[in-house]
Structure 1
Amino acid sequence: MCRWMAYFGDPLPVEELLFRPQHSLIDQSLHSRLGATTTNGDGFGIGWYGDGPRPAVFKSIDPAWNDRNLRELAGQVSTRLFFDHVRASTGSAVQRSNCHPFRHDQWLWMHNGSIADFGLLKRDLVLAIEPALFSDLEGSTDSETLFFLALSFGLAEDPVRAVERTVGLVEDVAARHGVADPVQMTVATTDGSSMWCFRYSTAGRTRSLFYSTGVAELRALHPELEVLRELGDESRLVVSEPLRDLPDAWHEVPESSWGVVRPGADDLQPFRPIRPAA
C-alpha cells in the first residue's frame, strides 16, 4: 500500500510540509507506523498549484528519501494546495506513469489501497471509461483506472456522486466475477479550488486517514509551536498518518466517509457506493 498527504490553505513552502514535520511523508516512506507496509519506496510524486489552473506534477521511481531533486524543489516552491504520495506497489510495475498523483486538466487524484483481483476485473472496468478519455490513460494501475472512471462519471460536475458511482461499478463487476471485498481505498482529489477526500472499503476495514484540527484551535492548544503562526485559519491537512505526535491535533476520518475542504465551512458525510442500474 502507500501513504499520502494533502494540504489546503495559505501558500506554504513545500519543504515545511514534506521534510520538517517529525513524522513527515519522507519519514513515512521508510518508517510507516500505520500502513500495510513499513517501507514505501516504489516511487513518489508531488502535485501543486501555482498561478494557473493546471497543476504541476513531479514524479520519480526513486525512493522519496533518496531523491536530491525533490529536496531542491521543495526548498523553492510555495503553494496553497499540495499533494504528496509515496508508493508501495501492490503488483503493477514500478514506472513513472504509475506514480501518483495522477493529473487530467485541472484535476489531481491520489489513492492508497487496491482493487482485489484487478487483473481479472480490469477489462470490464477500463471499457467503462469514456472513449474520449481513454487515450489519456498512461499507466497500468488500479488507482489510475479509478480516476478515469470517476472522470467518466462526472467528477467535474459532482465529485462525490462520481466516486460513489465508480466504487459501485467496481463492486458490481467484482460480484459478477465472484471477487469478494474488492475495494480498499483512501482517495484525495482536487480541482484546485476545493479538495475531496474519501475513506471506504467493501469490507469496512479501511486503511488509516486523519484530518487536522482547525488552526485557530491548535494555536490556543499549542502556542509554543512557531509553525502554527505561519498557517492561516483556513489551512487543513489530510494525511494517511499524523505528521507529528501532537495532542488533539488529529482526528480520524470515520469509516465509509467523504469530506470536502474548501474556503469557508468544511463538510464530512457518509459515503455510499451507487451500483449501476440493472
Structure 2
Amino acid sequence: MCRWAAYIGAPIFMDGLVSSPGHSLVHQSRAASECKTALNGDGVGVAWYGDRPEPGLYRDVYPAWSDPNLMALCRTVKSHAFMAHVRATTGSATSRNNCHPFACGRWSFMHNGQVGGFDRFRRLADMGVSDALYAQRRGATDSELLFLYAIEEGLDDAPEAAMVTAHARLEAMSRTDGTTPHLRSSAAWMDGNRLFVLRYSTDHIAPTVYYRRRPDDLGWFVVSEPPEPGQAGWIELPAGHLAAFTDAGVIITPMSYAVAAAA
C-alpha cells in the first residue's frame, strides 16, 4: 500500500505537508503507521498547480527520504493545489512511468490500493481504453488505468460519477477474471480548482483517508495518515464515500449517489 497527501486552498509551500511535519509524507515513506507495510520506498511524485491550467509534475524512482530534488522542490514551490505520493508497488515495476501522480490535461490523479488479480486481465483491461486516449498510457499500473477509464467516462463533466464508474469497471473485471480482494482504493484527483477523494473496498479493509480544515479556514488537507501524531481535528472519510473540497467547503456523498445524480 502507498501513502499520499493533498491540499487545496490559499497557497502554501509544499514542504508544509510533504516534508516538514513530524509524520510528514516523507516520514511515512519509511515509517507509515496505518497500512500493511511501513515502507513505501518504490518512488515518489508531486503534482502542483500554478498560473497555467495544467499541473507541474515531478516523479522519480528514488525513495522519498533520499530524494534531494523532492526536498528542494517542496521548500521553494508555493501552490494553492497540490498532491504528493510515496509508492509501495503491488507488483508492477519500479519505474518513473509507474510513479504517481498521473496527469492528463488539467487533471491529476493518485491512488492507493489494488485491483485483485490485475495481472491476469491487464491486457483485456488495456483494451478498454480508446485508441485516442491510449497514447497517454505510459506505465503498467492498475492506478493509471483507473485514471484513463475515468477520463473516458466523462471526468470533465461529472468528476465524481466518472471515477466511481471507472472503479466499477475494474471491479467487474476482477470479479470475473481476478482474485480477492477485488478492489481496495483511496484515490484523489483534482483540476486545480476542486479536489475530489474516494474511499472504497470490496471487503472490510478500506485504505484510510482523513481530512482537516486549516485553522484559519483558508484550505483543506487530505491525507492517508495525519502528518502530526496526536493532532486534533482530523476526520476520517467513511468507506464507500466521496468527498469534494472547494473554497466553499466539503460535500460528502455515498459513491452510489454520485452515479445516480449524474444519470
Q: Same fold (TM over 0.5)?
A: yes
Cα deviation 1:67-109 (Å, max 9, x = unaligned): 1111111221100011000000111000000000000011000
Task: Report the Cα distance in structure 1 between the residues aligned to 2:121 and 2:241, rounded to whole angstroms.
Answer: 25
Cα RMSD, aligned residues only: 1.5
Counterpart AA for 2:14: V
Find the counterpart in structure 2 of residue 250 from structure 1. Answer: 234
Task: Report the Cα distance in structure 2 between the residues aligned to 1:171 and 1:76, rounded to whole angstroms.
Answer: 40
Q: Give 1:58 deviation, angstroms.
A: 0.6
Task: Report the Cα distance in structure 1 between the residues aligned to 2:61 and 2:132, rounded to whole angstroms.
Answer: 29
Alignment of 1:1-278 (within 5 A): 1-177=1-177, 179-212=179-212, 214-215=213-214, 218=215, 232-272=216-256
Q: Give 1:178 deviation, angstroms.
A: 5.8
Report if aligned partners of 1:234, 1:264 keep a CA contact under 8 Å in 2: no
Counterpart AA for 2:112: N
Q: Please state whether the residue corresponding to 1:40 is helix, strand or coil.
A: coil
Find the counterpart in structure 2 of residue 222 from structure 1. Answer: none
Q: Give 1:34 deviation, angstroms.
A: 0.5
Counterpart AA for 2:143: S
User: Structure 1 residues 178 and 36 mapped into 2: Cα distance closer, same or farther (>3 Å)?
Assistant: closer
Counterpart AA for 2:126: V
Query: Which sits farther off after the overlay, 17-26 or 110-119?
Result: 17-26
Report if aligned partners of 1:107, 1:191 keep a CA contact under 8 Å in 2: yes
Task: Report the Cα distance in structure 2 between the residues aligned to 1:96 and 1:171, rounded to whole angstroms.
Answer: 26
How many pairs does the alignment contain?
Answer: 258
Task: Report the Cα distance in structure 2 between the residues aligned to 1:52 and 1:140, rounded to whole angstroms.
Answer: 28
Which runs of no fewer than 5 residues in structure 1 stay unpaired?
A: 219-231
Task: Report the Cα distance in structure 2 between the residues aligned to 1:261 and 1:181, rounded to whole angstroms.
Answer: 29
Q: Which has the larger radius of gyration?
A: 1
Q: Give 1:151 deviation, angstroms.
A: 0.7
Report if aligned partners of 1:200, 1:255 keep a CA contact under 8 Å in 2: yes
Q: Give 1:247 deviation, angstroms.
A: 4.5
Task: Report the Cα distance in structure 1 between the residues aligned to 2:231 and 2:114, rounded to whole angstroms.
Answer: 31
Q: Please state whether the residue corresponding to 1:122 is helix, strand or coil.
A: helix
Q: Please state whether the residue corresponding to 2:253 is helix, strand or coil.
A: strand
Counterpart AA for 1:158: A
Counterpart AA for 2:51: D
TM-score, structure 2 normalization = 0.94
Task: Report the Cα distance in structure 1 between the residues aligned to 2:106 and 2:55, rounded to whole angstroms.
Answer: 6
Report if aligned partners of 2:118, 2:174 keep a CA contact under 8 Å in 1: no
TM-score, structure 1 normalization = 0.89
Q: Please state whether the residue corresponding to 1:123 is helix, strand or coil.
A: helix
Counterpart AA for 1:162: A
Report if aligned partners of 1:204, 1:256 keep a CA contact under 8 Å in 2: no
Task: Report the Cα distance in structure 2 between the residues aligned to 1:134 and 1:233, rounded to whole angstroms.
Answer: 40
Q: Please state whether the residue corresponding to 2:123 is helix, strand or coil.
A: helix
